[in-house]
Structures are given as C-alpha cells and as structure tokens.
Amino acid sequence: GDSVTQMEGPVTLSEEAFLTINCTYTATGYPSLFWYVQYPGEGLQLLLKATKADDKGSNKGFEATYRKETTSFHLEKGSVQVSDSAVYFCALDEKLTFGTGTRLTIIP
C-alpha cells in the first residue's frame, strides 16, 4: 500500500540556517503530495502541495519539488526563523497517508 517515509527528528537548528527535511513515498499512480505543519497545541495547516511530477510547491519561504524519479518531496527553506519551530508532516493523496512527523526547533 501507499506509504510515506519521513526524516526522523527532532531537528534543532540555529536561526538563519538552511533546512532540509527529507520525505520519500511509495504509491501506485501519481499521487498529490503535501507538507503540513502543526504548531504547538494546534491542528495541522497545509504548508504547500504539488500535484504532478516536477511541480514545485512553495509558501512562506518553504519549497518542495515533486521528484518522480526519486519518489521524493523534500522540504527546504533557505533561512529558518524561530517562528518556524513546529512539527512538519509529509503526506500523500486524498486519503492522506502521513509520515510520522519531524519536530523542528529553531534556536535564536
């Protein structure tokens, strides 16, 4: 069945550092791919998405490119801020199959 493998956390970075959170998937067909973010005590918010190969989703300085050849959808940000501290989930398709989440902490 469909599955998502996500980089284990927690990840701790200094402010303004470069961020990569890896995500790879296994699926039949051509699923849509998503990154969701969960701030402390809140529900999930859609961060970005991509619906077909080579699409790049972007939002709030975050980017992820749908790579069919490597079945990956890695999340990147060039310069993280303290406010980016949260748990990030990679997911695929309508019946969202989620990765286990990566807890990111940014220290000033």
Partner 1 sequence: NAGVMQNPRHLVRRRGQEARLRCSPMKGHSHVYWYRQLPEEGLKFMVYLQKENIIDESGMPKERFSAEFPKEGPSILRIQQVVRGDSAAYFCASSPLDGSTDTQYFGPGTRLTVL
Residue 21 phi, psi (nearest 5): -120, 120
Name which of 57 and 84 has its Cβ closer to partner 1.
57
Dihedral, 84, 82, 17, 50 alpha carbons, nearest 10: 10
In the three-class reduction of DSSP (H, G, I as helix; E, B as strand; rest coil), residue 23 is classed as: strand
Q: For binding to partner 1 (CB under 8 A), which residues are involved?
A: 6, 32, 34, 36, 42-46, 49, 51, 89, 93-101
Residue 67 Cβ vs partner 1, minimum distance, rounded to whole Å? 19
CB of 15 to partner 1, least distance (A): 26
